Amino acid sequence: MDNKEITLNNVMRHSMHDFLNSLHLIQMNLDMGRIEEAKNLIRAYSSKCSQFFDINNIGLYKTNEWLQTFSMRYNKMTLVVQTSLLTSGAEKYDAALREFLDWFLQSIYPNLRGYEEQLFKVHIKTDEQLEIQIDVQGNWSSFSWMEEMSSEALFHVEKQVKTETELKFILIASERLE
């Protein structure tokens, strides 16, 4: 983990690099006559862009910025984001959610092994309440639940799974969305 400030130039360089890699991958599939694979890549990249706009539209701007710069800070992990967003009005939870996610990653990141695949899955749901399901896959044999996880005032933490290979919990907003 690198605690250096991430500048706009860093973000733009990173985004342009990812964009070019994506275009090259699509072009490679087209050159090889793999039209369906190219279409699937375009759909996946389009879905990722839609998720970005959806997360902004519900008011989670700081959280979205954190998610978009995740790989720049936590390069030992792969981020997977899912959204099921039916209601807006989550602005009240934005800063606290971003701080919680960053705190959680900083607490587990030193235990990661670079040679093992580690996935950090975040599923953001809004209906009447904001729920964020966190699923972390990797080697968690030495990890124990931290009691601080339940102390966040704006969220209730519901612990679901703790095995040697998976940690899973849900953050549930303390109030209904307006």
Delimit the domains of the chain by residue range: 8-176
Structure tokens at 121: 């899955």
Identify the CA nearest to 147 among candidates 93, 107, 98, 94.
Answer: 107
Q: Give residue 110's pLDDT.
A: 80
| DSSP H stretches of helix in the chain | 8-31, 35-57, 61-68, 70-73, 94-108
| Residuewise pLDDT in 10s, the chain (178 residues) | 556 788 888 888 888 898 899 999 999 999 999 999 999 999 999 998 999 999 999 999 999 999 999 988 888 889 999 999 888 889 999 999 999 999 888 888 887 776 777 899 999 999 889 999 999 988 777 777 665 555 557 888 888 888 888 889 999 998 888 7
Q: Token match 């998976």: residue?
A: 166
Distance CA 121, CA 137 (A): 8
Q: How are beta strands 155-162 and 130-137 bridged, if at all? A: unpaired
Q: Give residue 20's pLDDT.
A: 92
The topology under which CATH files domain 8-176 is Heat Shock Protein 90 (3.30.565)
